[in-house]
Chains A and B, each alone.
Chain A
Amino acid sequence: MAKNVHEIRDPIHVFIRLDSDERKILNSQPFQRLRYIHQLAMSYLVYPGATHRRFEHSLGVMELADRAYQVLVQSANDAAREQLPDLNGDDKTRYWRRVLRMAALCHDLGHLPFSHAGEAELLPPGWDHERISRAIILSDAMRPLWEDMTPPIRPMDVVKLALGPRKAPEPFSMWETILSEIIVGDAFGVDRMDYLLRDSHHAGVAYGKFDHYRLIDNLRILPPAPAGDRSQGTELSLGVEEGGIHSAEALMLARYFMFSQLYLHPIRRIYDIHLKDFLGAWLPGACFPTDVAAYPRLTDNEVTAAYLEAARRPDKPGHDPARRIVERDHFRVLYSSNPDDVRIHPQPGRAIFDAAVQSFPPERIRYDRVVGKRGAPEFPVAMRDGRVVSSTARSQVLPTVPRFLVEYVFVDRAIHADVLAWLDAHRTDIIKPLEEEPRG
């Protein structure tokens, strides 16, 4: 008899098991493409071990989504079952479990080469990798796979759970919203849990580790905490039991440290900018295509081959940024924002950049602003005495987790000393309070 459960070894979750339908998705061309998309773009130029790919991350997200789903379904109380009819009945819970696993598997299918580098600037307005993921899931290439499953899976259900209400324009039921929160939720999305654990493992930094076993075991579907005496909403969402609050704190701190130490590392950021400059010169029309038929030939491998060639050939488009990547001749940090400066001017980096390009060649200066995910999003906590309270009231740690907002100004190292001297001379003239607008 044919084997229906297949195991894959994984450095984070040890074994990831999938059934034959899921293996068909795994073996499909769009999913196999993820073997050639680095999870952390060019971070391996700073952290040499960070060469892992979206392929294994997507498997990890499926594994964690399934664990979270089993806990949530088994622990759902009568009030949740009353509001969420899909929790009642084995056929329904089995169907949604399959959809959730497929959505977790497919949530990153639309990533561009080198993941996020250049996504905002090199796609047409209104497009992002989520929209491309959606197009791939709904494509002719994947439709037969959904239809052949037993029972068949509605591909739009997969899209909704993989993208969440922020990126999918369709209306969501409360149940669909909760299921999408399992994957892409701001507080307890397993996408984030897996990438923190996996990125930390491969980069060789310890900051991203937290007790995800305990956290997932304590996830619950809960009503919102009151937001004032007359403000009790009704929408259910993901929260934790009181016993899981410290694991939740550890997750939020892990996120903060991974952003501050790894994801927003300035050298990583400037390599992304050089790569973006190269792609802008190399891509026809300075734009990635939106036709999913083009995506099999759009991976890190094609881009790497192109920039290696362009680095050797001054006549090739994008020669200069390609050469900077290959020869490690990246721009250097002139300025990174800090809380003191932000208290004086809301965008000090922008102010410095705008002033610097008046005095130095603009092509030798770059501005970068990164808005990270919120410090620690609020979520409901089920107390041992039966009350549901806000995480910000229950935890002393969560309200103190800083938010990420970093501005960098980079300059060509050939003029770095000159620009730095200029900045020293003009800093207080540039970083100053906004002037009052003239009265009419």
Chain B
Amino acid sequence: MDSIKRAAVLADLTQRLEQQGSWCGETHIQKATYLAQALAGIPTGFEFILYKHGPFSFDLSDELDVLQAQEILASVPQRMPYGPRIRTTEVGRKLRDCFPRMVGELDGRLALVAGVVRDRGATDLERLATALLVSLEPAAGRSVGAKAARLRELNPHVGEAEARAAVEEIETLQGRAAGMAEVGA
């Protein structure tokens, strides 16, 4: 996926979160993009590492800055104490509209991700995204319990029941994503 198409995907994803009433700060876009890439198979090509609030991509963080410099996205300050929201601008909507075929192909996957992210806070998203990261580690066939234990090893403030629930939810979502048609680069 080239940089302009990728920008169109991020503009679309951000707008979906906004339209669904989701909080949409950088943490939410980070986690939504991770889910889009690692769960829904959208080839955005960012490199994620385990960092603040679970999987995090410095490349994506830079890209969000570039998109704001290009006025495709805009950062909107909020009243105290909150951090800024990020929204898609008119320029961003026009860019997305240049790629109707691609956005159409990705519609189901983007909707899946936006639906998962929309009602969650940062801590909840951190848990879910880390569960996905654990499920993708090269240790196929591990049980839910083993994955939950690994999640708690990486993120000790997650409780046992929460960890299991996150792993189970990820397995369900992986099943839904697997039922969708493959995406070309």
Contacts and interface: CB of A to CB of B under 8 A. Distances in A.
Q: Secondary structure at chain A's binding surface: helix, strand, loop or mixed? A: loop
A contact residues, range: 35 or more
A233 B82 contact: no
Nearest to A186: B61
Interface in B119-175: 120-124, 126, 157
B27 A227 contact: yes
Most chain A Cβ neighbours within 10 Å, of B69, B70, B82, B99: B69
Nearest to B4: A346
A229 B81 CA distance: 10
B121 A403 contact: no
Contacts of B91: 343
Contacts of B4: 346-347, 434
Nearest to B84: A392
A289 interface: no
B68 interface: yes
B106 to A, nearest CB: 13
Interface residues of B, number: 46
Given A231-B23, A233-B53, A392-B75, A226 B82 contact: yes
Interface of B: 4, 7, 23, 25-28, 49-53, 58, 62, 65-66, 68-72, 75, 77-84, 91, 94-95, 97-102, 120-124, 126, 157
Contacts of B53: 233, 235
Contacts of A387: 80-81
A95 interface: no
Contacts of A343: 71, 91
A436 B82 contact: no
- Specify which of B49, B80, B123 lies most central, judged by the most chain A CB atoms within 10 Å of its CB: B80
A230 B126 CA distance: 13
B121 A388 contact: no
B66 A393 contact: no
Contacts of B120: 230
A225 B97 contact: no
A339 B71 CA distance: 9
B44 to A, nearest CB: 16
